[in-house]
Amino acid sequence: MSNTELVMFNPTEIAVFGNKLLAAIVMHEAIKEEAEAALQQAAKQENFFDVEIAKALVHLHKDETIDLYKVYGEDKASSASLYRQILVSLGVLKRTITDNDTVEYAFTDPKLEAQYYFPSSMNDAKKESESEEEYKTRTTEYTRRRAQRNALNNRLARCCKAAIALIESGADASSLVYRENKDTGLVEVVLTKGPAEVVGTKGEVVIVTGNAAKAEGASLTPTFSGLAKVADNKHKAAPAAAKSGEGATRKDTDGKTNLANGEQDFLAMANTFLMMIKGREGVFTDTERTAMLNVYGEIKALGKPAK
């Protein structure tokens, strides 16, 4: 639907002014109604996007392809590395190592590259060969793409935290289901198992967007932001190293070790080491490579486990 034309009052055309004005008002109201409906539909789709991303993240974390706990790293580089790993795993980015042993990332879809890729050169100072209009177009596009990428990172952060909350509550990807509301006929997102802070006492809850009433017995709203808040409350202030990967359940032994605790500690350290290697994305110093080869040599010397 096109925009309405501005109807200007003209004393010489007063006999037709009223009809033109009211026709414009009718068209304006129709456009507004269509826009409001589109906004409502977009708000509903927010959940569906987050649901499918969260499902993928739960799978990737359990498959040890990514370490969701890097979202609580000590600096932005940790979370930025996580987001890149996610996009590589989902086929959005392609990762290559150059002859200089540096890692480069490129979008696999040119259309997405035009939305999310913002090289610093796009924000360079005005060049002598550029007109003022060309300069403004370039820098405006840089700002737009950067904002678009930041919005994507914010979504990924929310979904990473929600996925952590799901995993730690014993839920998995199958705990998020689509179900038709018999009263309204609308398809809703239902969380059939999850943290009590969101699900409450009834065991399941409809996940919504925006402001919503809390479920019975719940302390947080049934939203993805609520799920993320569950993870934040548990991990945001805690040292990141204490909760890397599946080793998050590791307990302090006060220096004492038995076979059970020793195995648990070893598995936690091995998993942390594995996640650390994946997180470095193929970039290591010569000393680090030597250390890893030493570990590899020891592992190789063990031979195959006895059957």
The confidence score (pLDDT) of residue 244 equals 45
Q: Is residue 62 one of the residues assigned to a domain?
A: yes
Same-domain pairing of 295 and 161: no
Q: Is residue 10 one of the residues assigned to a domain?
A: no
Same-domain pairing of 172 and 295: no
Taking all residues of the chain, what is their mean pLDDT, rounded to a whole number? Answer: 82
Query: Is the model's pLDDT at 169 over the cut of 50?
Result: yes
Q: d(Cα 240, Cα 83) in Å, to the nearest integer?
A: 16
For 189, the 3-state DSSP assignment is strand
Same-domain pairing of 29 and 144: yes
Higher-confidence position of 36 and 251: 36
Mean pLDDT for 90-97 is: 94
- Does the pTM exceed 0.85? no
pLDDT band at 301 (very low <50, low <70, confident <90, very high): low
Query: Is the model's pLDDT at 112 over the cut of 80?
Result: yes
Mean pLDDT for 114-128 is: 93
- The count of residues in the chain is 307
- For residue 307, give its domain range: 244-307
The confidence score (pLDDT) of residue 252 equals 41
Q: Is residue 145 one of the residues assigned to a domain?
A: yes
Q: What angle do CA 103, 92, 192 make, to 5 degrees?
A: 125
Q: d(Cα 161, Cα 68) in Å, to the nearest integer?
A: 8
The pLDDT tens digits of the residues spanning 240-279 come to 444 444 444 433 444 344 444 456 666 667 766 776 676 6
Question: SS3 letters for 107-125?
Answer: ECCHHHHHHHCCCHHHHCC
Higher-confidence position of 279 and 92: 92
Same-domain pairing of 262 and 132: no
The confidence score (pLDDT) of residue 283 equals 66
Pairing status of strand 103-107 against strand 93-97: antiparallel
pLDDT band at 305 (very low <50, low <70, confident <90, very high): low
Same-domain pairing of 142 and 291: no
Mean pLDDT for 19-25 is: 86
Same-domain pairing of 111 and 224: yes
The confidence score (pLDDT) of residue 255 equals 39
Same-domain pairing of 300 and 212: no
Q: d(Cα 61, Cα 69) in Å, to the nearest integer?
A: 9
Q: Is residue 72 one of the residues assigned to a domain?
A: yes
Count of domains in the chain?
2
Q: Is residue 102 one of the residues assigned to a domain?
A: yes
Same-domain pairing of 171 and 253: no
Same-domain pairing of 188 and 305: no
The confidence score (pLDDT) of residue 168 equals 95
The pLDDT tens digits of the residues spanning 233-242 come to 999 864 444 4
The pLDDT tens digits of the residues spanning 174-188 come to 999 999 988 888 888
The confidence score (pLDDT) of residue 181 equals 87
Same-domain pairing of 266 and 158: no
